[in-house]
Amino acid sequence: MTALKDAKEYLMMNTAKNNVLFSPIQFGATGLKHRVVMAPLTRSRSLQPGNIPGDLMLEYYTQRTSDGGLIISEAAQLSLATSGWQGAPGMYSEAQIDGWKTIVDAVHAKGGHIFAQLWHPGRFSHVSLTGGAIPVSASVDPEYWQNPSRLISTPNGWMQPSPHRALERSEIPGVLEEYGEAVKRVKSAGFDGVEVHAGNGYLIDQFLQDGSNKRTDEYGGGDRKPSPSPL
């Protein structure tokens, strides 16, 4: 009898949890019918050249759409110079926006919602992906690109990152502007929202971590010295 009682209590407890999981929730301006959210997953399936979302990506997202559910897209690069993975889609050209719009429309047609994830890889990149632009970071760390266990998917196979440089203080507002312009393109494609990729050792995380941020200006890490006021 004790085992049966325990089983009933376990069933009731998990049923209550499931009821919450499949209950509606308001997520900002987006109303979801349930709380099962698809996380962003880099699939490397964009059309080449151009990093353009095509039919394979359309099929992928349409298959995973649920009525009233939310999908967060795979990471989309802000520009050619911020490309960090072979086959990852972009959010910077008209062809890319048209491709994304087709996907967003298909998700909406099935009653789903979709947010765009925006991505700046920073030092996690290679010049074969960026059109020759040198990858950037908060600070310079040669060990990062010299580590043979750290590999990036490139047009020429798996390769170690290219040497990076530190962003100049005067360049950082331009990076923020890149994000702003990308958000405008996200809106024009019809997405329901935006998620900014700020983890996994990419550019924003490179500024947040003391190990990769050795700056001494106002964009510095935890051990930085106060910088003089620009005023």
Neighbours of 102 (CB within 10 A): 19
Catalytic residue among 144, 179, 202, 219: 202
What are the DSSP calls for 186-225, one per residue? HHHHT-SEEEE---TTSHHHHHH-TTT----STT--TTPP
Could you give the 3-state DSSP secondary structure of residue 212?
Answer: coil
Residue closest to 72 by CA, chosen among 92, 94, 42: 42
Q: Is 61 a catalytic residue?
A: no
Point out which residues pair with 27 in neighbouring strands: 30
As annotated, the active-site residues are 202
